[in-house]
Amino acid sequence: MLLQTDHALARQSWYAQTATRRQDHPPLQGEVRAEVAIVGGGLAGLSAALELAQRGRQVVLLEALQLGWAASGRNGGQALAGLACDMGEIEAQIGLADARRIWAMTVEALTLIHARRDRYRIACDWQSGALTVATSARKAASLRRETERLAQAYGHAGQWLAGGDLALHIRSPRYRGGCYDRRGGHLHPLKYTLGLADAAWREGARLHERSPVRRIERHRSVTLLRTPQGQVVADQVLLAGNVHLPTMPGLGGLPAGIGSRIMPVGTYVAVTEPLDAGEMDGLLPTRAAVCDSNFALDYFRPTADQRLLFGGKVSYSTVTPPNLARSLRSRIAQVFPRLAYRPLTHVWGGFVDITMNRAPDFSRLPPDGAAGAPIYLLQGFSGHGLALTGLAGKLVAEAICEDASRFDLFARLQHRPFPGGERLRTPTLVLGMLWHRARDLLG
């Protein structure tokens, strides 16, 4: 059900209509051997495939549908430092010194995007500048404290802006203050994801589309991944299937407990028709990406062809909410009243994999019994994975080929399953989110 809903949403995306798929990768046929097999052709899996292939490993990546069709190819396009959770959560778990190392890696995730764009000539419409904004005086004070703390404790200097200074970046009556980060920015995520796939393939990774893994079998020294027409015999395995892995129809042998640590949450996006450049100057003069600091947040940015791309509105059911275009248009009007009646040309959405504490969930699942290799898992990016997935794939490659210490630092973060397990977690989450939503509305 999740797969069907999500696939329907994918087809409506503006990204799908503005990126070219230059290559079709055939389904897996017969048996192949791999040093590393990867499940999932989104940014996390493709990044790992690229890094492993660069290190000379024999890599086979299996994608159930098409490379980049899921969250990676149709997100808000905002590449930001940090994590979805507050750094206080990380400090409480592993201490300030190690939280600083994690923060530094989230900044490295941004430089990695640039390095890959340059090295593999990935044309993906990069635009620098990211702004986090507050919708009330109380939230502005809190965001300002957080900005100062990031500068003081993490050495990450954001620029605090209010009044006329804020208007240099955004012309909206809705915001009371904001923090500008010149290192963040935005891009066309499907062009970037397909560029990464191309790079991985050119480095020697074998990529197979329309190859859903139906069964995972762990043996003494190898793991078997079975697809409808073939199987991979792998020394090491990475699972990078996001919300679709635990919900994949008929999948057997998935290590226990993975699915209950993440929860699929729908988030929705629309684009306006192209505005003229002068009109965009009157909304987002520096063309920065913007998101607010609310729990159920709005995020938006201009596209390269001068549309406003606007995301928000979460849903905890796998059914697409009714009147999506109308509700997104009313949110756009709150931010930019002059766009209240502007037609939206495309409306779509997707599912993010949130964890209870919104920290990413990277793990090495121990072998069954004494022999065998661990299985690597990347999930739980919690709506903040565009840049971080790139780094996550690199950390898996480092752990397999060189040194696991950076991967293990993330793997030390503890995750609790959602209360109620996979069946009852939704009502529990809805209650929690309603409480946060009420706080958003109180100002």
Residues at the interface with ligand FAD (CB under 6 A): 39-45, 62-65, 69-72, 75-78, 80, 212-213, 240-242, 244-245, 248, 251, 267, 269, 299, 311, 349-352, 381, 383-387, 389
Least Cβ distance, residue 185 to ligand FAD (angstroms): 11
Least Cβ distance, residue 97 to ligand FAD (angstroms): 26
Cβ proximity to ligand FAD: between 44 and 122 the closer is 44
**Amino acid identity for residue 19 in this structure:** A
Cβ proximity to ligand FAD: between 154 and 299 the closer is 299
Cβ proximity to ligand FAD: between 137 and 356 the closer is 356
* Residue 111 main-chain phi, psi, to 5 deg: -65, -30
Least Cβ distance, residue 128 to ligand FAD (angstroms): 15
- Length, in residues, of the chain: 443
Contact partners, residue 344, CB within 8 Å, separation at least 6: 270, 271, 272, 273, 325, 328, 329
Least Cβ distance, residue 24 to ligand FAD (angstroms): 15
The dihedral sign for the CA sequence 166, 170, 174, 179 = negative
Contacts 24+ apart (CB under 8 A), 276-284: 276/306, 277/306, 279/306, 280/306, 280/308, 282/171, 282/338, 283/170, 283/171, 283/172, 283/308, 283/336, 283/338, 283/339, 284/169, 284/170, 284/171, 284/308
Cβ proximity to ligand FAD: between 97 and 304 the closer is 304
Cβ proximity to ligand FAD: between 203 and 298 the closer is 298
Least Cβ distance, residue 195 to ligand FAD (angstroms): 14
Cβ proximity to ligand FAD: between 77 and 178 the closer is 77
Cβ proximity to ligand FAD: between 175 and 300 the closer is 300
Residue listed under structure tokens 């990464």: 196
Cβ proximity to ligand FAD: between 44 and 324 the closer is 44
The dihedral sign for the CA sequence 218, 416, 317, 378 = negative
Residue 229: CB atoms within 10 A of its CB come to 13
Residue 73 carries which DSSP code?
G
Least Cβ distance, residue 305 to ligand FAD (angstroms): 18
Query: Could you tell me the two tokens for 234?
Result: 């792998």
Contact partners, residue 99, CB within 8 Å, separation at least 6: 87, 90, 91, 154
Cβ proximity to ligand FAD: between 21 and 162 the closer is 21
Residue 404 carries which DSSP code?
-
Least Cβ distance, residue 438 to ligand FAD (angstroms): 24
Least Cβ distance, residue 95 to ligand FAD (angstroms): 25
Q: Report d(CA 6, CA 70) in Å as an integer.
A: 7
* Residue 2 main-chain phi, psi, to 5 deg: -60, -45
Least Cβ distance, residue 43 to ligand FAD (angstroms): 4
Cβ proximity to ligand FAD: between 177 and 383 the closer is 383
Dihedral (Cα; 289, 357, 316, 266), 10-degree rounding = 30
**Across 104-213, where does the E strand assignment appear?**
127-134, 159-161, 177-186, 206-208
